[in-house]
Chains A and B, each alone.
Chain A
Amino acid sequence: MAESVKDGLNRDYKLPEIESGTVVYNIDPLIVKYHYEIDYIHSYCQDSPWFRGLMNGQLLGSKCGKCGQVFATPRSHCMECGAKTEWTELPKEGTIHTWTTCYLGSQEFLKETPFHLIMVEFEGVNTLLLARLLGVPVGRVEVGMKVKARFRRLSKISPTDVYFVPA
C-alpha cells in the first residue's frame, strides 16, 4: 500500500485508463457522438385483445352498444358518447379510401422502401384502418381498389401482423 494512503484516504487515487474512446465529428465546435438506447416494458393494456386477435387471424374493431358507432381501431370507450365499447369482428375485405407509396421514411422503415400505406374502409364501419398494402406493384394502387386482410403466421405483436393484398 502506498505511503499516501492514511486513515483510509487515498491521496494518489487515479482513474483507470479508459478502454473505449469517444467518436468526434468535429473539433471546433466540438461535436461528439452520443449513444442513447432504451428497452421499454410496454403493455398494450386494454388494447391487448386486438393484438391477440391478429395472432388468431381476426381483425377486431370497437362497437358502441349505446350509440352504435363502429370504429375500425381499438377504442375501449366511444369517442362520440363516452360509453364502453365492445369488440366486434371487422370484415376481412374492404376498399382503399386513400393511399401513398413511401420512397423515404423514418430510419426504422427505410430498408422497407418503397412501401404502400393505405387507409381501408369497411362496409358498416364508421372509421378507417391504417395498414400496409402488399402484392401491388408501384404505380398500380388506386382509390376504391378492393383489398383483403392477411395475417402473419408468426406474429410480431405489431399492427403490421395484419396487412392487405388485392381482393
Chain B
Amino acid sequence: MRPVYMIAGGMTKFAKASPDKDFRYMVKEAFDYAMNDVPNLTLDMIDGSVASYFSDHFTRQLMAAIMVHDYLGLCPKPSRRQEGGGATGGLNFQAAWESIASGRLEVCLAFGFETMSHVNTWKGNEFIALASDTNFDYPVGGFYSGYYAMMVRRHMHEFGTTVEQMAKVSVKNHGNALHNPWSQYPMDITVEDVRKSEMVADPLTRLDICVMSDGAAACILCSEEALEKYKLTDKPVRVIGVGCGTDSMRLADRPHGKVVLLPHESESDYKHLKYPGVHSFRGGRTAAKLAYQMARIGNPLEELDFVELHDAYTSSEIQTYEDLGLCKYGEGGKFIEDGHTSLTGKMPVNPSGGLLACGHPVGATGLMQAVVAFWQLQGTMGKHCGGDAFLQLKNPKRGLIHSHAGTGTYISCTVLERGF
C-alpha cells in the first residue's frame, strides 16, 4: 500500500431543507469549494470518484450517485457507490483511500449527500428504522431513538452514567457549533434546557438526538506522486490509519464475550464486564483497534490531538469515548463531566459541533467529519469558518474521524495526520 493524502475538502451548509438545489447541485457546490482550495488541480486530473448516500427511499432515485458523477463532468471515469447506513460517509472516505492506496487511481474524489427533507420527520424515522431488521425489529416499534435509549439505559444500569452527563455532550457540541458557520443548529444551551426539552424515548430528549438534514460534502484524495507532480498543495494531510468493525444487525443478537482490547489496556481492566452487551459497540472498538494498529498508535489519549465522532445521540458519544479507548469502559460519563472533551480539554471531541449540532445528512456526514478534521490539521479553520478561528485547535498533528451505522452495525475509524 502506498501513502495517501487528502488535499482538499468542501461541504454545503447543512440545512433542514434545501428545496432550491437538488443533490447534484449540492455536491457540485461542495466539490467546487474543495477545487477552489487547490487551484493547480483541474477536472481532468481527477481519475474517478467514490460516492455515498444512505437511503434510496429518501432519494427516490436509484443510481443517484452516477447522476452526480455525470453532473460534475466526471464521466466516463470510474465511480461506484458505497452504502453502510450511518457509516456510509466514513466508509466512503476509506473507499477513496483504497482506490489510491491500491494504485488504481492517482486522484480520487469522495462525495456524499443526503436529502432527508423530502418526507416528513415521522416518515423519515420510518425510513431510518428500515435500517433495522424489518422482520423482527422494525415491526415491534422501529425507531432508532428507541434502540439507543435502550442501549444507554443499560449503560446507566451497568456504569452509573447519568442523564446530566449525557446532556453535557449536547451543551458542548451545540456550543462549539456557535463558531461553525456550516452547522445546522448552533445553540447556547444548558444541561437544564436539554433535560426540559421534549422527551422522545426515555431517557433521550429532543436535544440528546441529532436532526435530519439536507447536505453534501466532498473530499479530494491523491497519491504522493500526484501531490508532488502537480504541486497540489503545500498543506496535505496524510491518511495513516483506517479501520472498520461490524456487529449483528439485531441489537438483541449480541452474546457476551471478551473485551476487544486496545494496546494500552489489559484483560484485568475488565474482569467483571459483560461485553459488549447492548451498552458497548464491539464494532467500534474493532474499527479503532485496526486504525490504531495501522497508525502505530499505542495510547490514543496521548497520541491523538482531537476526535470527530458520530454523536447521533449524546449517549453514543459517551459510549464511543470508551470504544475508542479515550477512557476505560464505564468511565465515559465521568470523562465528559470532567471536561476532558471540551475544546480546551485533553481530548477535544467534536470541535465542529458533531452531528448533534452540524446535522446528519447521512451520506455526507462521514465526509463532513473528514473535511473539518482536514481543516483542523491544516490550521485553516479560521479561513474556512468565515474568519472565526475560535475552533482552531493549537497545532494539532493527528485527528481521528469515526462514522457509525445502525445499532453499532458498521463502524469506521480513520486517523489523519498533518503531512507538512
Give A contacts to B, CB under 8 Å. 26, 29, 31, 34, 36, 44, 47, 69, 71-75, 79-80, 97-110, 112, 115, 117-119, 126-132, 143, 158-160
Chain B residues with CB under 8 Å of A29's CB are: 19-20
> Is A100 within 8 A of B125, CB to CB?
no
CB-CB under 8 A for A160 and B253, given A97-B278, A98-B153, A99-B150? no
Interface size on B, residues (CB 8 A): 41
**Is B198 at the interface (CB under 8 A from chain A)?**
yes
A84 to B: closest C-beta gap in Å: 17
User: Which of A26, A100, A107 is close to B123, meaning CB atoms less than 8 Å apart?
Assistant: A107
The complex places the Cα of A112 from the Cα of B139 at a distance, in Å, of 12
A29 to B60, CA, bound (A): 18
Least CB distance, A92 to chain B, in whole angstroms: 17
B residues with a Cβ closer than 8 A to A are: 19-20, 60, 120, 122-123, 125-126, 129, 135-137, 139-143, 145-146, 149-151, 153-154, 157, 198-204, 248, 250-256, 278
| Residue in B140, B198, B199 whose beta carbon sits within 8 Å of that of A159 in the complex | B140
How long is the Cα–Cα vector from A149 to B129 in the complex, in angstroms?
Answer: 25
Pairwise interchain contact B143-A106, C-beta atoms closer than 8 A: yes
Given A29-B20, A159-B135: A105 touches B146 (CB 8 Å cut-off): yes
What are the residues of chain B within 8 A of A80 when measuring CB–CB?
Answer: 255
Determine if B60 and A36 form an interchain contact, defined as CB atoms under 8 angstroms apart: yes
Given A105-B125, A159-B136, 15 extra CB contacts under 8 A: A73-B250, A80-B255, A98-B154, A100-B203, A102-B143, A102-B201, A104-B125, A107-B126, A109-B141, A112-B141, A119-B150, A127-B252, A128-B251, A128-B252, A130-B250
Q: Name the B residues within 8 Å of A131 (CB-CB).
A: 140
With a cutoff of 8 Å between Cβ atoms, the chain B residues found around residue A34 in the complex are 60
Asked if B153 and A129 make an inter-chain contact with CB atoms under 8 angstroms apart, the answer reads no
Secondary structure type dominating chain A contacts: mixed
With both beta carbons as reference points, the residue of chain A lying nearest to B257 in the complex is identified as: A80
Bound Cα distance from A83 to B157, whole angstroms: 34
Question: Are A103 and B199 interface neighbours, CB within 8 A?
Answer: yes
B133 CB to closest chain A CB (Å) equals 9
Could you jot down 9 A-B contacts, CB within 8 Å? A69-B255, A72-B252, A97-B154, A98-B150, A100-B150, A101-B201, A102-B202, A104-B125, A128-B252
Q: Which residue of A has the minimal Cβ distance to B22?
A: A29
A128, chain B: closest CB distance, angstroms:
4
Closest-by-CB residue of B relative to A75 is B253
Partner of B253, one of A36, A71, A158: A71
Chain A's closest residue to B157 (CB) is: A143
- Are A106 and B248 within 8 A (Cβ)? no
Q: Please give, as numbers and ranges, the residues of chain A lying within 8 Å of B200 by CB-CB distance.
A: 102-104
Which residue of chain A has the shortest Cβ distance to B120 in the bound complex?
A: A107
Contact between B123 and A105, CB atoms less than 8 A apart: no
> Distance (Å) between the CB of A139 and the closest chain B CB?
9
A112 — which chain B residues lie within 8 A by C-beta?
141
Instruction: Tell me, in angstroms, the Cα distance from A71 to B201 when the chains sit together.
Output: 27
Q: A29-B20, A73-B253, A97-B278 are known contacts. Are A104 and B136 too (CB-CB below 8 A)? A: no
> Within the complex, which residue of A98, A103, A106, A132 is in contact with B278, where a contact is CB–CB below 8 Å?
A98
Which B residues are in CB contact (< 8 Å) with A104?
A: 122, 125, 143, 145, 198, 200-201
A75 to B133, CA, bound (A): 13
Return chain B residues, CB-CB under 8 Å to A74: 136
A109 CA to B138 CA in the complex, in Å?
10
Name which residue of chain A comes closest to B206, CB basis.
Answer: A104
Query: Is A127 within 8 A of B153, CB to CB?
Result: no
A59 CB, min distance to chain B CBs, angstroms: 13
CB distance from B20 to the nearest CB of A (A): 5
Residues of B within 8 A of A71 (CB): 253
Q: How far is the CA of A126 from the CA of B201 in the complex (A)?
A: 26
A105 contacts B143, C-beta separation under 8 Å: yes
B140 and A117 contacting across the interface, CB-CB below 8 Å: yes
